[in-house]
Amino acid sequence: MDWKILSLLQQDGRMSFSALGREVSLSAPAVTERVRRLESLGVITGFTAVVSPSRLGLPIESIVRVRVRSLDTPRFRSQVLVLPQVLDADHVTGDDCWLLRVVCRTMVELEDLVEVMQRYGDTTTSLVFSSHVRNRPLSPDLLG
């Protein structure tokens, strides 16, 4: 039952508890209790609007891989947290240390941003032509 609720909320986070209840054959109070429990367990971590950066004047999306010098890691992490262009920042294994998804208004802005990153190590930047999977809902099939 929880997976049905999660699937519906991942498709439409604004769905009312009464509408959820109709879909899963539970009362609105029962659905409310289940959703609150999933929130308290940390399964549901929030509800958010999905916004189009390009529609807001941020047409340039890039993936920036950064190989940070080990002594600079704390300073780099602090820098990434305050850069509004950075939408995602993942500390990863492999040849690079960080994988960043960034958006910018212009190529000049992207160049300036990459120059900031280069203070901490080597960078490789890839422009995103198009995105084919973004924010895919989790499925119970993943658990076997």
95: phi then psi, degrees, rounded to nearest 5: -65, -35
User: Within a domain: residue 141?
Assistant: no
User: Within a domain: residue 68?
Assistant: yes
- pLDDT bucket at 101, cuts 50 / 70 / 90: very high
- Asked if 60 and 118 sit in the same domain, the reply is yes
User: Within a domain: residue 117?
Assistant: yes
**Number of domains comprising the chain:** 2
* CATH code of the domain in which 78 resides: 3.30.70.920
- Asked if 113 and 70 sit in the same domain, the reply is yes
pLDDT above 90 covers a percentage of the chain that reads 88
User: Within a domain: residue 81?
Assistant: yes
* CATH code of the domain in which 20 resides: 1.10.10
Q: Work out the widest C-alpha separation in the chain, in whole angstroms.
A: 56
- Asked if 74 and 122 sit in the same domain, the reply is yes
- Asked if 69 and 17 sit in the same domain, the reply is no
The per-residue pLDDT for range 42-57, each reduced to its tens digit, is 999 999 888 999 999 9
Quote the pLDDT of residue 140: 86
- Asked if 60 and 24 sit in the same domain, the reply is no
User: Within a domain: residue 10?
Assistant: yes
- Asked if 26 and 71 sit in the same domain, the reply is no
Burial grade of 107 (CB within 10 A; 0-12, 13-18, 19 or more): exposed
Provide the phi-psi class of 21: left if phi over 0, else alpha when psi is between -120 and 50, else beta. alpha
User: Within a domain: residue 97?
Assistant: yes
Quote the pLDDT of residue 88: 97
pTM of the predicted model as reported, rounded to 2 decimal places: 0.85
User: Within a domain: residue 135?
Assistant: no
Rounded Cα–Cα distance for residues 90 and 27 (Å): 40
Residue 100, SS3? Answer: strand
How many CB atoms sit inside 10 A of residue 102's CB? 26
State which residues form the domain around 8. 2-40
Quote the pLDDT of residue 1: 87
- Across the range 108-116, mean pLDDT stands at 98
How many CB atoms sit inside 10 A of residue 83's CB? 14
Distance (Å) of CA 96 to CA 37, 69, 73, 91: 38, 10, 12, 9
